[in-house]
Amino acid sequence: MLKLDRKLLRDLVHLRGQAAAIGLVIAAGVATFVMSMCAYKSLEAARARFYSEYLFADVFSSTGRSPNAIIPRLKEITGVAAVDTRLVYDVLLDVPGMSEPATARLISIPDSGQSRLNQVYIARGRMLDPLRTGEVVVSEVFADAHGFVPGDHVRAIINGKIQELSIVGIALSPEYVIQVQPGSILPDDKRFGIFWVSENDLEAAFDMAGAFNSASLRLAYGNQVEETVEVLDRLLKPFGSVGAYTRDEQISHQYLSDELTQLRGMAVLAPAIFLGVAAFLLNIAISRIITQQREQIAALKAFGYSNFEIGAHYFNLVLVITMIGTVVGILVGFVLGDSMVGAYAAFYKFPSLDFTPDWFAVAIAFLMTTVASVVGTFFAVRSAVLLPPAEAMRPEPPPSYQPSLIERLLPRKTLSPEVRMVVRNITRRPVKASFSVLGISMAVAVMILGNFSLDAMNYMMYFQFRLAQRQDLSVTFVEPATESVMYEVQNLDGVLASETIRSVPTRIRFQNRSRRVGVMGVEPDAKLFRLLDADENPVRVPDFGIMLNTKLAKLLGVRIGDLVIVEVLEDKRPTLTMKVAALVEEYSGINAYMNKNRLHEALLESKVASGAFLKVDPNRIDTVFAELERRPGVGSVSIKDAAMKSFEKTVAENLMVMRSFIIVFAGVIAIGVVYNTARISLSERSRDLATMRVVGFTNGEVSIVLLGEIAAFTIAAIPLGWLIGYVLAGAVTAGLDTDNYRIPLVIARGTFVLASLVVIAATVMSAWVVQRRVTELDLIGVLKTRE
Amino acid sequence: MSSATKTTVFRTVDLTKTYQMGEVEVRALRGVNLELVESEFVVLLGASGSGKSTLLNILGGLDTPTSGQVFYLDTDLTASDDRELTRYRRDHVGFVFQFYNLIPSLTARENIELITEIAVSPIDAMDALEIVGLRERANHFPAQLSGGEQQRVAIARAIAKNPQVLLCDEPTGALDVHTGIVVLEAIARINRELGTTTAVITHNASIAQMADRVIALSDGQIASVEMNVSKVNASELQW
């Protein structure tokens, strides 16, 4: 080994504390990057495999009763490779031990024993025998939530008749990688399941022999999606099509895509923050080493080491720290990625979801960290290279200090000499001081960024489920229910209050943009289902005109007062021109609302309802459930509290894991910055400090000089960190803004406090470690050696 | 020994040097003309601030003059760029500094090998240590050596590359009399046995007695040049 390299290794051992702190910051950034990229690759690979092997469709359409005779026409559509038609019905289940009803989506399996598209993967048990009656294959999450195994039985209320189904298999489908009931934001494994049953059974139960109500198409090439949607709509329009849609609007696919987008975002944001901080830390550490080794550099140059060799020597030092950090980060990233993929397996159901190392990401990680550290230390190393050897021989002139502005503003006696030293040290190198403050504030910001998602989620839940929706149950009817059905439901024993809604599928157009949206007719003076503006104030339902939620308005580029075209996709299919009367705030879905009575008029119908919101006496809720289950018209019942609890449980668990990581990572940044800054102050000032000790200053007084700077940096960094955290959180919410849900930019006071406390704790810890060295100062030794 | 029969190693012409030290401008050299010849042992004598270190640095290719010329053999060092100066130092010059400037993270032997690794025709590091009498301290780190020992390691390091010139800047400045003499003996021995042209800077007039020639510098100019008729052995020096 070259002696210069041996010097490098020994320098590194000498610097181990600082090097470890910097390496950890790099490792944290790399770990997050590698974790996200590997999770991305694993998830995407599993999705691609599942989609292609089990023939996930490209275009979907729900219709009324469509005759099988139309199928050949569907197959003739240009670019269509395969067509699958089937029967799909949502029914209520009567699950033993569960008083509230669950909803099952029944999907038909043809006589051949497997669908042509969106095929079923049998995880356990067997595929149902299509020629046998009463067999069912149940989706895995639902089966697991209830502990169902093949051989168990479950009772479904199919078209008003209770029917006993025999579970023969547990399955997965590319169409339901994540199972979210339409109209809800979140999966509720216990109350929504997919049931595959034989086509014969469904045809018989719903009197649909020779007909279908759901079509899926798989395209030969992906480039004709728009045209196919149009042709399919035209063909199925006479049969009550509510509008075809593509994968982009398919719920399970959307959730997966959102997740992948989030991972990508994390893979960009995390390295940007962590490597930025690491570059800064490397800069101050290497600058200090070069200052300390000024005379060594001079000697090396005097003996003929070239500038290139000197430069390479210090870059190598930087790169060794960087590479160790990177390798550790990659290994940790693999471990975290593996556990993240494990956590995904609970949410997203694939036949196989295996951790796949992303070697490209590993290569990128090396590249990123190398670039960051070389850029971060370039000027410091250059100063070593350019250092004229003769000048380096001479001791450095005393740094020039000036009384700072603060001192000049304050009366002379107010500041003690110690404090004055601190102030002058800071003001002498304002750039370095700013970067230290920025570095610590990044720790605060990372903490805020990591914790705000929970605040936002809590607020979203509060807004949506406490302020806006105040019902206990929402009921949907299979067919629009007549007034008598509504009357019946509203007067069930235990129902305290109720409101009905009428919703229709539509396509809303504005200029060249359009969206498939359910328009909901609501009661003008609603008490249960309320529409709110961003300031949480109820929005009065206007007599005329349509109300859009802000997301839909943004998508369409519509403002209040604009005229939009509403094409109703049901029944008589009227096309209406409506004025946008108001905007409402919602954090999930894209929705439009209007006065229910106006909607009835527009549809030329009497008072009917698609669903109802009920407020129920908690003591009699079980009776209400039992009554609802008995009624054939009731298609689904969703229980607000149950949905909320199930969500909070799963989300809270996952967020807790993420939170602990983030607290650790933020701590790493804070310790990295504070420890390095303090350690360097100590090294720069050990002579001054020792001199002060010799002339009679106490350890405590000397520590003020050393740690006062750190304290000042931390105090300045906290509010700045709040601001940066807020801005980054804003960027994240913008990045996660999807049709399915939006994350409000809400940061609880507790999050700011927690972020500050963690950073203060990290500061105190680092300061304590460095402060101990003040008491160990070798007073005589320090004074004897030449600086 | 007369300069007529020997090759001139260094020749300077009207050297001046002005530099900025913090907020102060220092005029270190104001027109220096001198010649050093092969195998000569020269002492550059002068008080602190007389410009002697600056002169040595310029001779060693560590610094460049503000005006004037320096020749090493036939090479005009003032016309050399940074790369050529580096090459010059690497191949021809051995330095000894007042504060030793050893690399604290390397042992005595490694400090020498650091230089022999890049030299053209070096001698073995252990042999160099032998010359300064420190063979048995080869594996000690600078912090484990006394000041005199550190300086002897520095001398071993300087000569290990087998240089044409040995430039010593106050080699005994940080040492007591006894260790100072040991160090000077080592330098004298190298000059005597290897024939290395040697220039020693000092403010200590006693040391001048061991030189072939004594050049006194004062206020950036040569004040006097004296040949020593009878050289005194380092061991006989007193201060």
| pLDDT tens digits for range A746-763 | 999 999 999 999 889 988
Residue A667 CB partners (closer than 8 Å, separation 6+): A443, A758, A761, A762
**Are B63 and A394 within 8 A, CB to CB?**
no
The minimum CA-CA distance between B198 and chain A, rounded to whole Å, is 16
- At residue A157, the 3 state secondary structure works out as strand
Kindly report the nearest CA distance between residue B157 and chain A, in angstroms. 9
Contact residues, A window 258-297, toward B, CB-based 8 Å cutoff:
295-296
Hey, what are A41's tokens? 């690759």
Domains, chain B, ordered by start? 38-61+89-233 (3.40.50.300)
Instruction: Summarize pLDDT for B60-81 with one digit per residue, the tens.
Output: 988 889 999 999 999 999 999 8
ipTM: 0.83
Burial of A72 (0-12, 13-18, 19+ CB in 10 A): exposed
Task: Check CB contact under 8 Å for A306 and B161.
Answer: no
pLDDT at A560: 94
Query: Which chain A residues contact residue B119 at CB under 8 A?
Result: 304
Rg from Cα positions in chain A: 33
Q: Which of A393, A401, A785, A786 to mutate to test the interface with B (most CBs of B within 10 A)?
A: A393
Token pair for B109: 């032997």
Mean pLDDT of all residues in B200-211:
90
Please answer yes or no on whether A397 and B91 come within 8 Å at the CB atom: no
| A390-399, A454-463, A612-621, range with the lowest pLDDT | A390-399
Q: How many CB pairs under 8 A join A and B?
A: 100
For residue B178, the surrounding DSSP H or E stretch is helix B177-194
The pLDDT mean for chain A works out to 87
Model confidence band, residue B137 (pLDDT cutoffs 50, 70, 90): very high
Residue A580 and residue A740: Cα distance in Å, rounded?
Answer: 22
Question: Looking at the complex, does the CB of residue B138 fall below 8 Å from at least one CB of chain A?
Answer: no
Q: Which residues of B touch A2 (CB under 8 A)?
A: 117
For A590-653, give the DSSP string. Answer: -EEEEEHHHHHHHTT--S-EEEEEEEE-GGGHHHHHHHHHH-TTEEEEEEHHHHHHHHHHHHHH
CA angle A526, A527, A530 (to 5 degrees): 70
Pick the residue from chain B with its C-alpha nearest to A309: B118
Is the confidence at residue A653, as pLDDT, over 50? yes
Kindly state the average pLDDT of the residues A206-233.
Answer: 88
Chain B nearest C-alpha distance from A302 (Å): 6
Distance (Å, whole) CA A255 – CA A741: 10
Mean pLDDT of the region A116-145: 93
Distance CA A306, CA A318 (A): 19
pLDDT at B3: 44
Higher pLDDT, A54 or A647: A54
Q: Which residue of B has its CA nearest to A4?
A: B114
* Over residues A32-53, mean pLDDT: 95
Which chain B residues touch A7 with a CB distance below 8 Å?
Answer: 103, 105-106, 110, 114
At A413 the pLDDT is 67
Neighbours of A756 (CB within 10 A): 19
pLDDT of B14 higher than 90: yes
**What residue in B sits closest to A784 (Cα-Cα)?**
B174
Using DSSP, state whether B229 is helix, strand or coil. coil
Lowest pLDDT segment from A32-41, A592-601, A630-639, B146-155: A630-639
Query: In this predicted model, which residue has the larger pLDDT, B21 or A228?
Result: A228
- Residue A573 has a pLDDT of 85
User: Which residue of chain A is at minimal alpha-carbon distance from B110?
Assistant: A3
Averaged pLDDT, B200-228: 91
Q: Which helix (H) or strand (E) holds A488?
A: helix A483-490
Please indicate if any CB of chain B lies within 8 Å of the CB of A749. no
Name the 3-class secondary structure at A438: helix
Q: How far is B122 from chain A (nearest CA, A)?
A: 13
Residue A466: DSSP 8-state: I
Q: What are phi and psi of A658, to 5 degrees?
A: -60, -40
A308 touching B (Cβ < 8 Å): no
Of the candidates B56, B113, B130, the residue with the CA atom closest to the CA atom of residue B89: B56
CA atoms of A310 and A4, how far apart (whole Å): 9
Q: What is the DSSP string of A230-259?
A: HHHHHHHGGGT----EEGGG-HHHHHHHHH
Cβ of B97 under 8 Å from any chain A Cβ?
yes
Contact status of B18 with chain A (Cβ, < 8 Å) = no
Q: What Rg value do the Cα atoms of chain B yield, rounded? A: 17
Residue-level pLDDT at A623: 87
Average pLDDT, integer, range A299-318: 92
- Chain A positions touching B99 (Cβ under 8 A) are 295, 786
- In Å, how far from its chain's centre is CA A272? 18
Place of tokens 């997965």: A172
Say yes or no: B57 contacts chain A, CB-CB below 8 A. yes
Neighbours of A272 (CB within 10 A): 15
Q: How far is B208 from chain A (nearest CA, A)?
A: 24
Between CA B46 and CA A88 the distance in angstroms is: 104
Tokens of residue B160, six digits: 């290990």
Residues 6+ apart with CB under 8 A from A246: A58, A59, A60, A225, A229
Please tell me which of the candidates A7, A298, A305 has its beta carbon nearest to residue B101. Answer: A298
Contact A766, A671 (CB under 8 A): yes
Q: Which residue has the higher pLDDT, B24 or A218?
A: A218
B158 contacts in chain A (CB < 8 Å):
303
Tell which residue, A205, A130, A116, has the closest CA to residue A169: A130
Q: What percent of chain A has pLDDT over 70?
A: 95
Q: State the pairing for strand pair A634-639/A59-67.
A: unpaired
pLDDT band at B32 (very low <50, low <70, confident <90, very high): very high
Q: Chain A: give the shortest CA distance to residue B236, in Å.
A: 30
Nearest CA in chain B to A12: B105
Give the residue on A whose Cα is nearest the Cα of B115.
A303
Indicate if the pLDDT at residue B2 is higher than 60: no
CB contact under 8 A, B97 and A4: no
Q: Any idea which of A110-119, A402-411, A524-533, B135-144 has the lowest mean pLDDT?
A: A402-411
Q: Which residues of A722-742 are buried (b: 16+ CB within 10 A; e: fewer)?
A: bebbbebbeebbebbebbbbb
Integer CA distances (angstroms), A565 to A99, A509, A586, B4, in order: 44, 5, 22, 110
What mean pLDDT comes out for the span A608-615? 90
Give every CB contact of residue A87 below 8 A, 6+ residues apart in sequence: A106, A107, A108, A199, A202, A203, A206, A208, A212, A213, A214
pLDDT of A210 higher than 80: yes
Which one, of B106, B119, B215, B195, lies nearest residue B158 by Cα? B119
Chain B contact set for A400 (CB, 8 A): 22-23
Give the closest of A304, A398, A400 to B91, CB-based: A304
Rounded to 5 degrees, φ, ψ at A339 are -75, -30
Q: Give chain A positions within 8 Å (CB) of B48.
A: none
Q: Given the DSSP bridges, would you call strands A634-639 and B165-169 parallel, antiparallel or unpaired?
A: unpaired
**How many Å apart are CA A294 and CA B103, to the nearest integer?**
11
Cα torsion angle, A749, A754, A759, A763, sign: positive
CA distances for A43 relative to A180, A345, A741, angstroms? 18, 10, 21
Is residue A457 within 8 A of residue A655, CB to CB? The reply is yes
Can you give the pLDDT at residue A406?
Answer: 67
Is the alpha carbon torsion for A587, A589, A592, A596 positive or negative? negative
Average pLDDT of the segment spanning B91-115: 89
Q: Is the pLDDT of residue A150 over 90?
A: yes
Residue A23 to chain B, least CA–CA distance (Å):
22
The answer to whether the Cβ–Cβ distance between B90 and A393 falls below 8 Å is no
CB A390 within 8 A of CB A327: no
Cα dihedral B157, B162, B167, B170 sign: positive
| Option in A298, A304, A391 nearest B86 (CB) | A304
Closest residue on chain B to A299 (Cα): B101
A299 CB neighbours in chain B (<8 A) are 95, 97, 101-103
Question: Which of B89, B93, B117, B166 to mutate against chain A (most A CBs within 10 Å)?
Answer: B89
Task: Write out chain A residues lying below 8 Å of B157, CB-based.
Answer: 303
Residue B157, chain A, CB below 8 Å: the answer is yes
Cβ contact A301–B105 (<8 Å)? no
- A7 to B62: CB separation less than 8 angstroms, yes or no: no
- A495 DSSP β-pair partners: A616
Q: Which of A14, A297, A303 to mutate to test the interface with B (most CBs of B within 10 A)?
A: A303
Which amino acid would we find at residue A78?
Answer: T
Using a CB–CB cutoff of 8 Å, tell me whether B90 touches chain A: yes
A731-735, A736-740, A776-780 — most confident range: A731-735
- Please report, rounded to a whole number, the percentage of residues in chain B having pLDDT higher than 70: 98
The verdict on A307 touching B (C-beta cutoff 8 Å) is yes
For residue A529, give both structure tokens: 């289902």
The single residue listed with the structure tokens 């809800």 is A184
B175: tokens are 């040492």
Contact yes or no for A26/A320 (Cβ under 8 A) = no
pLDDT digits (tens, 9 = 90+) for A241-270: 888 889 988 989 988 998 898 888 889 888
Helix (H/G/I), strand (E/B), else coil: B120: coil
pLDDT in tens, A73-87: 999 998 899 999 999
Write down the pLDDT at residue A782.
Answer: 58
Confidence of residue A394 (pLDDT cuts 50, 70, 90): low
> Across-strand partners of A474?
A613, A638
Residue A787 predicted with pLDDT over 50: no
Picking from A2, A309, A390, the nearest residue to B63 by CB comes out as A390
Minimum distance, in Å, between the CA of residue B239 and any CA atom of chain A: 23
Interface test with A, best of B62, B72, B141 (most A CBs within 10 A): B62
Q: Among residues A377, A149, A168, A222, which one has the least CA distance to residue A285?
A: A377
> For testing the chain A interface, which of B82, B92, B110, B118 should be mutated: the one with the most A CBs within 10 Å?
B118
- The verdict on a CB contact (< 8 Å) between A299 and B102 is yes
